[in-house]
């Protein structure tokens, strides 16, 4: 046990919180975090309490629940959540907990219902959460209105669904407005999930995000991905070569002509959008670089749109191409266990086996996800050693990791009620 966490705690989480703030205040900037951040059960509980129960989380896509009564479920730590399309067409979010004796209402990942009915005792709720039926045995004076489902905050933008378990989550509307603008050409309400996969990585969720936030490892680990992806993180990447800058300028002129947004947008450390070129002559993230779907998304007229990269901390990164899109969702399962879900999206009218073949579409990212899983798991095994101590990040190759760790440190301290000194920005 790390000595900063005392063996006997009258209030384990509160004491761990104080120790966590102390470690974050005293951490060496631009270095990886102290060991407990990656493997301690109490610190993981704080991550869930202060990050995953207070921040906005990517939950899924609006196209997954396209019509009244369509629902999807997810688990945020110990908190099961339902997202359902209501009678008015809006997306509602609720804790997936019956107000009778607490059973989960919906036990499938996806489905369609007329009403939300608890399978235990058949308490029945409207799609907006109102309790409609509780049986006659509750007595004549039982107040149905007092036992509606407990809501979860939901916001949508650009086809994305975000949820927050907090009563007062941080501001996100500016990001959602920009998402709507950047994804307008894709007509996200008229897309569908062509194929989906989930893998469990035996690694802390922060290691999964850290691995995604740099391509320092790409040359040695991702041969399939580098058939299409240029390793530069965005158009302001400090490592960008003159040849890359020339390619960027050429592609941006093409995108302007097609009225497709490309400008780099940042929203603090949490959210970022940037459109970057793929390898010259490559139009999609496939093994041969050709389009994976013949029917383009929305109003797009060319598959050669590079990749619109969308980052949302703490739990999502995305690639939007001309022919299809790939959305990634990260949900922690334990101190050293993380669920990573990947969704491939296409035009809703694209026909499987005619316009696209799922095995072709998913091949590159199936390989990349498995390679990243092994990297994160080996990273975790090394960090668990008594020999581990925080090591330095490269400010050129790993600036994205530095940005993530700074964001995480800031949010943990603020959510724990500690004022955070302003951080020097690594780059603009």
For residue 344, pLDDT beyond 60:
yes
- How many CB atoms sit inside 10 A of residue 189's CB? 12
**Residue keyed to tokens 């580098």:** 226
Where in the sequence is the domain holding 413, given as residue range(s)?
1-55+173-418
- 164 domain residue, yes or no: no
Q: Report angle CA 184, 188, 194 to the nearest 5 degrees.
A: 145
- 162 domain residue, yes or no: no
Looking at the structure, do residues 347 and 310 belong to the same domain, yes or no? yes
For 290, left (φ over 0), alpha (ψ -120 to 50), or beta?
Answer: beta
Q: pLDDT grade, residue 386 (50/70/90)?
A: very high
d(CA 146, CA 222): 54
- 165 domain residue, yes or no: no
Looking at the structure, do residues 45 and 62 belong to the same domain, yes or no? no
For 31-64, the DSSP string reads: BPPPTHHHH-HHHHHHHIIIIITTS-EEEEEGGG
Looking at the structure, do residues 146 and 210 belong to the same domain, yes or no? no
- 323 domain residue, yes or no: yes
Q: Tens digits of per-residue pLDDT, 218-257?
A: 999 999 999 999 988 777 788 888 999 999 999 999 999 9
Q: Tens digits of per-residue pLDDT, 138-150?
A: 988 999 999 999 9
Looking at the structure, do residues 3 and 129 belong to the same domain, yes or no? no
What is the reported pLDDT for 11? 60
Tell me the mean pLDDT in the region 264-282: 95
d(CA 117, CA 94): 13
CATH code where residue 211 lies:
3.90.380.10
Q: Which of 157, 187, 208 is the last residue of a domain?
A: 157
What is the reported pLDDT for 89? 96
- How many CB atoms sit inside 10 A of residue 99's CB? 19
For residue 404, pLDDT beyond 90:
yes
d(CA 28, CA 161): 36
Strand ordering across the sheet containing 316-320: 191-201, 337-347, 325-334, 316-320, 307-312, 271-276, 265-267
Strands 325-334 and 160-164: unpaired
- 424 domain residue, yes or no: no
d(CA 410, CA 259): 37
Looking at the structure, do residues 35 and 107 belong to the same domain, yes or no? no
- How many CB atoms sit inside 10 A of residue 184's CB? 15
Looking at the structure, do residues 207 and 139 belong to the same domain, yes or no? no
- 168 domain residue, yes or no: no
Q: Report angle CA 27, 32, 35 to the nearest 5 degrees.
A: 80
What is the reported pLDDT for 22? 93
Looking at the structure, do residues 87 and 31 belong to the same domain, yes or no? no
Looking at the structure, do residues 230 and 374 belong to the same domain, yes or no? yes
**Burial of 40: CB neighbours in 10 Å, binned 0-12, 13-18, 19+:** buried
For residue 304, pLDDT beyond 50:
yes
Strands 307-312 and 271-276: antiparallel
CATH code where residue 142 lies:
2.102.10.10
Q: Which of 94, 129, 157 is the last residue of a domain?
A: 157
Whole-structure pTM value? 0.94
Q: pLDDT grade, residue 424 (50/70/90)?
A: very low
Q: pLDDT grade, residue 199 (50/70/90)?
A: very high
Looking at the structure, do residues 107 and 232 belong to the same domain, yes or no? no
Looking at the structure, do residues 350 and 317 belong to the same domain, yes or no? yes
What is the reported pLDDT for 139? 87
Number of structural domains (the chain) is 2
Tell me the HSE value of 243 on the side-chain side, using a 13 A CA sphere.
4
Looking at the structure, do residues 259 and 119 belong to the same domain, yes or no? no
- 425 domain residue, yes or no: no
Looking at the structure, do residues 74 and 44 belong to the same domain, yes or no? no
Q: pLDDT grade, residue 3 (50/70/90)?
A: very low
- 374 domain residue, yes or no: yes
Instruction: Give Cα 101 distance to the centre of its chain.
Output: 32
Q: Tens digits of per-residue pLDDT, 32-67?
A: 999 999 999 999 999 999 999 999 999 999 999 999
308 in helix, strand or coil? strand
Q: Is 44 in contact with 25 (CB distance < 8 Å)?
A: no
């Amino acid at each position: 046990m790390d000595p900063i966490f005392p063996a006997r705690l009258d209030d384990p989480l509160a004491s761990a919180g104080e120790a966590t703030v102390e470690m974050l205040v005293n951490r060496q900037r631009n270095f990886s975090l102290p060991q407990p951040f990656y493997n301690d059960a109490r610190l993981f509980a704080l991550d869930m309490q202060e990050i995953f129960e207070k921040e906005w989380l990517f939950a899924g896509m609006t196209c997954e629940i396209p019509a009244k009564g369509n629902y999807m479920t997810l688990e945020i730590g110990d908190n099961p959540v339902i997202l359902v399309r209501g009678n008015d067409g809006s997306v509602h979010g609720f804790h997936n907990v019956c107000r009778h004796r607490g059973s989960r209402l919906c036990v499938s990942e996806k489905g369609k219902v007329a009403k939300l009915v608890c399978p235990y005792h058949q308490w029945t709720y409207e799609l907006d959460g109102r309790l409609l039926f509780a049986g006659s045995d509750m007595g004549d004076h039982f107040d149905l209105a007092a036992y509606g489902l407990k809501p979860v905050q939901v916001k949508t933008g650009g086809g994305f669904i975000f949820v927050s378990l907090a009563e007062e989550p941080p501001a996100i509307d500016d990001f959602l407005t920009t998402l709507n603008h950047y994804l307008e050409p894709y007509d996200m309400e008229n897309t569908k999930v062509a194929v989906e996969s989930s893998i469990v990585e035996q690694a802390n969720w922060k290691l999964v995000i850290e691995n995604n936030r740099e391509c320092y490892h790409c040359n040695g680990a991702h041969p399939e991905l580098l058939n299409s992806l240029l390793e530069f993180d965005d158009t302001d990447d400090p490592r960008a070569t003159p040849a890359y800058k020339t390619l960027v300028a050429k592609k941006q002129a093409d995108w302007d002509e097609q009225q497709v947004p490309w400008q780099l947008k940042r929203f603090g450390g949490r959210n970022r959008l940037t459109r970057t070129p793929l390898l010259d002559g490559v139009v999609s993230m496939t093994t041969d670089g050709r389009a994976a779907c013949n029917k383009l998304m929305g109003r797009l007229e060319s598959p050669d749109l590079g990749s619109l990269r969308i980052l949302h901390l703490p739990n999502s990164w995305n690639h939007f191409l001309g022919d299809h899109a790939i959305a990634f969702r990260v949900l922690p399962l334990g101190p050293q266990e993380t669920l990573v879900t990947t969704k491939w999206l296409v035009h809703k009218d694209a026909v499987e086996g005619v316009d696209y073949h799922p095995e072709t579409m998913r091949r590159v990212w199936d390989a990349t996800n498995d390679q990243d899983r092994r990297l994160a798991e080996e990273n975790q095994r090394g960090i668990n050693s008594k020999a581990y101590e925080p090591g330095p990040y490269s400010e050129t190759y790993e600036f994205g990791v530095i940005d993530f760790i700074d964001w995480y440190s800031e949010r943990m301290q603020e959510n724990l009620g500690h004022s955070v000194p302003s951080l020097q920005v690594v780059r603009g």
